[in-house]
Amino acid sequence: MQTLRKFLKFIVILIIALWILFFGIIIYAIISDYKPDEKTVIAENASPTLISDTAIVSLMTWNIGYCGLDREMDFFYDGGTKVRTPEPAFRQNFAAVSDFIKSNDSLDFILLQEVDRKSKRSYRMDEHAAIQEKLSKSSVQFATNYDVFFVPVPPSDPMGQVYSGISLFSNYDPSSSIRYSFPGNYGFPKQLFMLDRCFMVNRYPLQNGKQLVLINTHNEAFDPGEIRQAQMEYLKKFITGEYASGNYIIAGGDWNQTPPGFRPEFVSNKVNSAQMGINSNYLPVDWTWAFDSTTPSNRTVTGAYNPEVTTTTVIDFFLLSPNVSGLSVKCIDLGFANSDHNPVIIKAKLK
């Protein structure tokens, strides 16, 4: 009987300790919660690069998946079981990803998403700085969209600290670079441990007195649609206002939705028919959704990548205002070897 009482006492103490730990994490998360303003200035430049109003520009967008979502990985948030790839695989992923980005250093603009700077899942490497060192680009901007001291899930192997965001590399100096917070959030306390989604806006003066407005976006991925819709309405108001002012808009990134008019033409990949799409009436028809329908840009991460089983889709692409003409767009098939996304490259002409 005495042994039983000791055991029950131990269980009670353990339960109390776990509750104290849980509430301690919640309280500290509230105190340290990253709460960015709706508009945050990243950089301002009194001597920006002046671009021709008939220039041809080249851009690449790529969600590098923090170099932790290689073809062998699944992810617990998306129905898998794993939290992070082993460190040797991560190092190999980063080497391959950064080498590919370096091989495209000649592009005018490189837009990246899911770039970690100090995260447990990417072994605390500053990926933004490490990629910058490999490039010749003189103009570099970074906008934070995930800054949590400790993500407590899954309980058996918590994801831990995450500090991540979106990056833009170029040799063109913007007059300003600004982070805009997307609206919408999850309920308490989940919101304390999720991303604070945003898009980054770089402005470049043109010879005709207008501006090239370049947007790097990473939209919501995990909600059933309400947050995504609110974000798209916010972005629509922003870009249509810029176009009404006579500016030229190029928006690229990971939209976590398929583009209007998307009809997959994949030859050797299954299609993720459950992926949400952008409404075809979202913008007037003279705006251009520039995407490659022949090559998937994203795979599901419910399991390791198997082209015969894994479903794929296109959620990485560009949006061009009517005064910008898309000359070519190509999704580069890297076989999802080192990221759950493939890069997309475009050439566009201002007109």
Q: Could you count the other beta carbons within 10 Å of the beta carbon of residue 334?
A: 17
Distances (CA, A) of 88 to 99, 121, 129, 131, 194: 17, 13, 20, 18, 27
Q: How many alpha carbons fall within 13 Å on the CB side of residue 270?
A: 12
The whole-angstrom separation of Cα 108 and Cα 141 is 14
Strand order in the sheet with 39-44: 39-44, 176-181, 198-205, 211-218, 248-254, 316-320, 288-290
CB distance 299 to 312 below 8 Å = yes
Half-sphere exposure for 248 (CA within 13 Å, toward CB): 24
- In 3-state terms, the chain is what percent helix, strand and coil (to 5)? 25, 30, 45
DSSP 54-120: T-EEEEEEEE-GGG---TT---GGGT---S---HHHHHHHHHHHHHHHHHTTTSSEEEEEEEESS-G
Neighbours of 322 (CB within 10 A): 15
pLDDT of residue 7: 66
**pTM score, whole prediction:** 0.93
CA distance 205 to 212: 6
Question: In the 3-class helix/strand/coil scheme, how is 262-289 assigned residue by residue?
Answer: CCCCCCCCEECCCCCECCCCCCCCCCEE
Q: Whose CA is closest to 184, among 173, 195, 169? A: 195
Q: Give the three-state DSSP class for 302.
A: coil
Predicted pLDDT at 302:
95
The candidate with the shortest Cα–Cα distance to 229, out of 282, 192, 181, 274, is: 282
Q: Under DSSP, is residue 200 helix (H, G, I), strand (E, B) or coil?
A: strand
Find the Cα–Cα–Cα–Cα dihedral 315, 320, 325, 331, rounded to 10°: -20
Alpha helix (H) residue ranges in the chain: 2-32, 87-103, 127-134, 226-244
**Residues contacting residue 181 through CB under 8 Å, at least 6 positions apart:** 36, 37, 38, 39, 40, 196, 197, 198
Amino acid at position 174, single letter: P
In whole angstroms, give the CA distance from residue 26 to residue 288. Answer: 44
* Predicted local distance difference test score (pLDDT) of residue 28: 58
- Walk along the chain (351 residues) and give the pLDDT tens digit of each residue: 677 676 666 776 667 666 666 666 666 567 666 788 999 999 999 999 999 999 999 999 999 999 999 999 999 988 899 999 999 999 999 999 999 999 999 999 999 999 999 999 999 999 999 999 999 999 999 999 999 999 998 988 999 999 999 999 999 999 999 999 999 877 676 677 789 999 999 999 999 999 999 999 999 998 888 999 999 999 999 999 999 999 999 999 999 999 999 999 998 888 998 899 999 999 999 999 999 999 999 999 999 999 999 999 999 999 999 999 999 999 999 999 999 999 999 999 999
What pLDDT shows up at residue 17? 62
Q: What's the pLDDT score for residue 215?
A: 98
pLDDT score at 33: 67
Q: What angle do CA 341, 326, 281 make, to 5 degrees?
A: 80
CA dihedral 167, 243, 326, 67 (to 10 degrees): 20
Contacts of 182 (CB under 8 A, 6+ apart): 197, 198, 199, 219, 220, 230, 231, 234, 235
Residue 347, beta-bridge partner list: 58, 328
